[in-house]
Amino acid sequence: MDTKYIFITGGVASSLGKGIISASLGKLLQARGYRITIQKFDPYINIDPGTLNPYEHGECYVTADGMETDLDLGHYERFTGIETTRDNSVTTGRIYLSVIERERRGDYLGKTIQVVPHITDEIKRRILLNATKQPLDFVISEIGGTIGDIESLPFLEAIRQLRWELGPSRSLSIHLTYVPFLAAAGELKTKPTQTSVKQLQGLGIQPEVLVLRTEHKLSDEIRAKVAHFCNVDVAAVIQSQDLPSIYEVPVNMMQQGLDSICLSKMGLKSEHKPSLGPWLNFLERRKRATKEIKIALVGKYNLQDAYKSIIESLAHAGTYNDHKVKAVFVNSEEITHENIEERLSGTVGIVICPGFGSRGVEGKIIAAEYGRTHDIPTFGICFGMQMMVIEFARNVLGYQDANSSEIDATTAHNVIDMMEEQKNITQMGGTMRLGSYECELIEGSHTRKAYGEDRLIRERHRHRYEFNNLYQEEFESQGMKCVGINPASNLVEIIEIPTLKWYIGTQFHPEYSSTVLHPHPLFLSFIKACIHGTTEA
């Protein structure tokens, strides 16, 4: 199998959108009929991003096979619809862990273990791994961080070696940089790009393609200058100007020929443009959907990236309901009974966000109560669902001290409790119920209707605590129904109050599986209810 490998590195600054460029290129190659996968290499030492504070790296995205990964994998899936796995997300920590474990086992037979070749060999093995498990035409590897970081050096060395071994027809390097605009001089500056490429060249990597992020259109002159200084064809200097939506990036890249340049550099023909039909229909519909609704995102992280997948899922569902959804962040730490009405004013639906720990919990419970008592469409996700359950237990069942044992370990009414199997595990990392689990939907529920044909669904999880089944009968008799059950463990995965317009909480994270071409049914039905005020409309 002659799998080809594309490496995407970044220079000058972080946050330039390498993930979006990787996802866009993947999308274009996929649209041409190639079998692709996109993987991310993060140079930090954490074994996975599971224990990272969302303020540092944004949301933790979970794959169907239960890996806690970088949020860029979310972009890859939303763009291509192809599920990623634990093999698509690798950190320095994981690389070192496997090398050190092997060293402890004695696999290296007394050799001195070094960054080169042992760490670089392990990086190379990981780069090649996906294609050993499935037939792939292209593997796109995005390298986190910025050229010049000390910690990314082993990755770049591994790429240099691989490029040499694979040859130019099977490997390609794309470097993404930033061209700043100096307002005082009224000029776009290419020097940082030249410096960054020089650094890369110094490490033995000559990029074939440059993608320049810019806020202003680059003239042909500037592109020619960059090409000239960096040993790159002018046609291979692509500009990535700010666009109204990340979903327009693949089209922009296609118009400039990013995919065809990559193909021709690797000796493949590219006579036709890729067919982006359904994607273009989505963009068209998105543009036409100008009527805006506001949805309250009740959470503790005042940062777009912390709830990335939820925001994207709401946007997808908005487009397919011909509306523009604006997610308004409502800080749960500041919510009180007195100000909740004002904080939610102008919004037509509430999402109670996932989370861990006690900060901002009471505000989420107040939001759940407000949604329930005012019959506002309310969607609780994971921790959000748990808050709906606690609120119901306190205010309807009358257990004032009801809580999750995560927040109050001694409460007599632990309506959310730790799973039996998890009780003995004390280590923080990797002790959660992670990844896809089956869920059986109960006939006659709003949820069942939202999913359409499907009665047995699979959704992704990331949590330690669960609905406490000892209380199930009591909840149900008072009107909160358990409408999604895991058939193997009997765990409650979905609750709803069927007498309300749309009041649903899911123990799983539906936001991880909403894609541009396959929006998630629960988000679709939630937004529909928010627009029309009823699920029947």
- Tokens representing 267? 């000796």
Site for ligand GLN (CB under 6 A): which residue of 86, 102, 326, 464? Answer: 464
Query: CA nearest 480: which of 507, 500, 458?
Result: 500
Cβ closest to ligand GLN, residue 87 vs residue 417: 417
d(CA 179, CA 202): 21
Site string (387-416) toward ligand GLN, x via CB under 6 A: -------------------x----------
Cβ closest to ligand GLN, residue 158 vs residue 297: 297
**Binding piece for ligand GLN, criterion CB under 6 A, among 256-264, 337-345, 451-459, 462-470:** 462-470
C-alpha dihedral, 253 to 259 to 261 to 266, nearest 10°: 160
Least distance (Å) between residue 460 CB and ligand GLN: 10
Site for ligand GLN (CB under 6 A): which residue of 382, 390, 494, 527? Answer: 382
Within 10 Å of residue 111's Cβ, how many Cβ atoms?
Answer: 10
**Does residue 4 interact with ligand GLN by CB under 6 A?**
no
Least distance (Å) between residue 463 CB and ligand GLN: 3
Q: Which of 122, 157, 493, 511 is the catalytic position?
A: 511
Least distance (Å) between residue 159 CB and ligand GLN: 34
Q: Which residues make Cβ contacts (< 8 Å) with residue 491, sequence separation at least 6?
A: 419, 466, 467, 469, 485, 507
Token look-up 């009358």 returns: 398
**Does residue 465 interact with ligand GLN by CB under 6 A?**
yes
Helix (H, G, I), strand (E, B) or coil at 229: helix
Cβ closest to ligand GLN, residue 232 vs residue 416: 416
Cβ closest to ligand GLN, residue 170 vs residue 464: 464
**Does residue 463 interact with ligand GLN by CB under 6 A?**
yes
Site for ligand GLN (CB under 6 A): which residue of 27, 308, 462, 501? Answer: 462
d(CA 512, CA 313): 8
Least distance (Å) between residue 50 CB and ligand GLN: 11
Site for ligand GLN (CB under 6 A): which residue of 356, 375, 430, 479? Answer: 356
Site for ligand GLN (CB under 6 A): which residue of 5, 44, 279, 383? Answer: 383
d(CA 230, CA 196): 10
47-66 burial code (b ≥16 CB/10 A, e <16):
bbbbebebeebbbbbbbbeb
Q: Which residues make Cβ contacts (< 8 Å) with residue 215, sequence separation at least 6?
A: 181, 241, 242
Name residue 237's beta-bridge partners: 210
Least distance (Å) between residue 440 CB and ligand GLN: 21
Cβ closest to ligand GLN, residue 117 vs residue 430: 430
Cβ closest to ligand GLN, residue 61 vs residue 96: 61
- Cβ proximity of 266 and 209 under 8 Å: no
d(CA 29, CA 418): 44
d(CA 493, CA 385): 9
190-203 burial code (b ≥16 CB/10 A, e <16):
beebbbbbebbeee
Q: Annotated catalytic, 463?
A: no
Least distance (Å) between residue 465 CB and ligand GLN: 3
- Cβ proximity of 343 and 468 under 8 Å: no
**Does residue 355 interact with ligand GLN by CB under 6 A?**
yes
Q: Where are the alpha helices (DSSP H) in 167-276?
A: 191-202, 220-230, 249-255, 258-265
Q: Which residues make Cβ contacts (< 8 Å) with residue 410, sequence separation at least 6?
A: none
**Does residue 26 interact with ligand GLN by CB under 6 A?**
no
Q: Annotated catalytic, 511?
A: yes
Least distance (Å) between residue 355 CB and ligand GLN: 5
Token look-up 């064809």 returns: 233
**Does residue 502 interact with ligand GLN by CB under 6 A?**
no
Q: Which of 60, 230, 262, 382 is the catalytic position?
A: 382
User: How many residues bind ligand GLN, per CB under 6 A?
Assistant: 10
Query: CA nearest 305: which of 77, 58, 62?
Result: 58
Residue 300 is given by DSSP the state S
Strand duo 349-352 + 324-331: pairing:
unpaired
Site for ligand GLN (CB under 6 A): which residue of 50, 154, 349, 354? Answer: 354
Cβ closest to ligand GLN, residue 293 vs residue 382: 382
Cβ closest to ligand GLN, residue 274 vs residue 354: 354
Q: Is the peptide bond before 117 cis (omega within 30 degrees of 0)?
A: yes
Cβ closest to ligand GLN, residue 320 vs residue 356: 356
**Binding piece for ligand GLN, criterion CB under 6 A, among 96-104, 122-130, 350-358, 470-478:** 350-358
Q: Which of 175, 446, 509, 520 is the catalytic position?
A: 509
**Binding piece for ligand GLN, criterion CB under 6 A, among 254-262, 351-359, 511-519, 526-534:** 351-359
Least distance (Å) between residue 123 CB and ligand GLN: 30
Known catalytic residues are 382, 509, 511
Where does this chain bind ligand GLN (CB under 6 A)? 354-356, 382-383, 406, 462-465
